[in-house]
Structure 1
Amino acid sequence: MPTPADTPPEQPLTGGNVAAAVVRVGDTVRRPAGAWTPAVHAFLTHLHDVGFDGAPRPLGIDTTGREVLTYLPGTVPWPDRFDLLGPDAALRRVGRLVRDLHDAAAGFTPPPGAVWRRLIPPDGTDLVVHHDLAPWNLVVGDRWAFIDWDTAAPGTRLWDLAYAAKAFVPLTADPAWQRPDAARRLRTLVDAYGLDERQRRTLVPLLAHRARSMHDFLAAQAASGAMPWTRLWNEGHGETWRRDAAYIRARERQWTRALLG
């Protein structure tokens, strides 16, 4: 049995907007658990059971009540290493990773009485999805994997993909992050995912809608004083999402031409 001296020290992990008290202990990550944790762990276990390795493996709950997950070594691209996602090959890899995730999720049956931390109502509930597929939740290493699964919940492929496209292309009104090749990068991501024509036509208006839903969520939470959302609102995240949604909507014809041309 390990003694206290044998126990690896806790190393704080930083970088998230909402996760608090996340630490690394040896080859594991410890995070605050919630009512949703059993359902999320069942989902992650299913993903690994069907061969999807782009997510941490759940290891249960520790003696202090924290969830335990395998630690995934690598680099989180946002914000300082977004260059890792600049090449088309990297964007195609992201698109295939998202598709593999959704295909693996399609066979999952939630446990009875499953509780999910669903923050924003999606456009449907076809399968359990991540809801926050973005460069701040991607680990780039020997294997690429998504982290921070607290908000995994029922949703749809296109709802999840719309958020991912906004974040990974990226589609933004911020001049510091705008890309002159945004339309082409959107096509690259969608081609790698493998949408058919009907799905591409459905995705285009969903891009702005998904971005606007983030603004509306933060506005509602700030109005009630809920944390950490009020802090994010006060820091300007809500306004950023509003501007990005307007930018995306104003260019819907451009996105459509890129995806169908």
Structure 2
Amino acid sequence: MSDEILGRGGVISKRNGCVVRPLNKWSASVHLLLSHLHQKGFHQCPALVAIEEKCEVLSFVAGDCYDYPLQGAIATEQALISAAQLLREFHDASSDFLQQHVSDKLVWMLPSREPQQVICHGDYAPYNLALNGDSVRGIFDFDTVHPGPRIWDIAYAIYCFAPFKTDVNDRLGSLEQQTYRARLFCDIYGVSSLDRGQLVDNMVQRLQALVTFMHQQAEQDNRQLIENLQDGHHLAYLSDIEYLIENKRFISDSIIR
């Protein structure tokens, strides 16, 4: 049976119900995490099936996948609620991972952040989730996982799901509607009042870190990131940073109430 190409310029494929992806420097750490998650009863993520030369073979997370603009099932309140629930379950299952593995022996794509409360997914966004109807049932693409505080992952997830985006093709609803969705995500996850007060600052810092990462990778001749910068992808993030800063007080006051 021939491979079905899934993405990343043809380097990720589906074969016999499994996903075949290139191995990276951080793959061994990701495999340890995936094994830990399944041992903790969190099965809404891939499992390592085999390693074949320079590739990893992972179980396929079945479901419907979406990208921006958010339309249909992914734009529903139920999708946002289930996404918040699943992120909380993932964080809780990962919370004791570092107690069982020596952190300085692990390699991650993205730098760890303090306090290291959980393993952050690093890219918890609609395009990395699988839905059954309008409910989020699974997470995939764990390349960006790294230790960090819960709010670091929550901030990016809310940025993506509210979404606090300014691009005409990516935004959804008014500022009031976006803030309502942000507050609902916080309520379902169980975000503390302290973290809610720091949410906008964390979203801004997370986007700034993303833009910095894009430039660093481009300088290291990452062709995908070079093309993204040439296409102006980073400009959208910079615009979103300004949007968040300008509306920080309204967003913060609304989600803390």
Same fold (TM > 0.5): yes
- Map of 2:230 onto structure 1: 234
Kindly provide the amino acid, as one letter, of the partner of residue 258 in structure 1.
Answer: S
The counterpart of 1:21, out of the listed 2, 11, 21, is: 11
Shift of the alpha carbon at 1:232?
1.3
The verdict on how the C-alpha distance between 1:241 and 1:120 changes in structure 2, with shifts beyond 3 A counting, is farther
- How far apart are 1:33 and its partner, in Å? 0.5
2:124–2:156 Cα contact (<8 Å) kept: yes
Residue 46 of structure 1 corresponds to 36
Q: 2:44 touches 2:61 (CA, 8 Å); kept in 1?
A: no
Q: What percentage of aligned pairs have identical amino acids? A: 26
- Which of 98, 101, 120 aligns to 2:87? It is 98
After superposition, where does 1:206-225 map in structure 2 within 5 Å?
206-225=202-221
Q: CA deviation at 1:183?
A: 0.6
Of the three residues 149, 162, 171, the one matched with 2:142 is: 149
Is 1:55 the counterpart of 2:45 in the alignment? yes
Aligned-residue offset at 1:38? 1.3
Deviation at 1:147, TM superposition (A): 0.7
Matched, 1:203 2:199: yes
**Does the C-alpha gap of structure 1 residues 81 and 253 become closer, same or farther in structure 2, counting only changes over 3 Å?**
closer
For the pair 1:11 / 2:12, whether they are aligned, the reply is: no
Q: State the alpha-carbon separation in 2 of the partners of residues 225 and 50 from structure 1.
A: 39
Within 5 A, what are the aligned runs for 1:129-208? Answer: 129-141=120-132, 144-178=137-171, 179-180=173-174, 181-208=177-204
Deviates more, 1:19-28 or 1:85-94: 19-28
Counterpart position of 1:3: none
CA distance in 1, matches of 2:12, 2:105: 24
Contact 1:21 1:32 in 2 (8 A): yes
Q: Aligned-pair distance for 1:57?
A: 1.2
Deviation track 1:49-86 (CA, whole Å, cap 9, x = no partner) reads 11112211111302x32111101222111136642222
Aligned equivalents of 2:167, 2:70: Cα separation in 1? 17
Query: Where does structure 1 differ by over 6 angstroms across 4 or more consecutive aligned residues?
Result: none
Q: 1:36 maps to which residue?
A: 26
Aligned: 1:247 with 2:243 = yes
Question: CA-to-partner distance for each residue in 1:91-135, whole Å, 9 max, x for gaps?
Answer: 111001101110000021364464323335645433222101111
The AA in structure 2 aligned to 1:126 is Q
Give the AA of the match of 2:179: A
Unaligned 5+ segments in structure 2 are: none
Contact 2:211/2:234 (CA < 8 Å) preserved in 1? yes
Q: Which moved more, 1:177-186 or 1:119-128?
A: 119-128
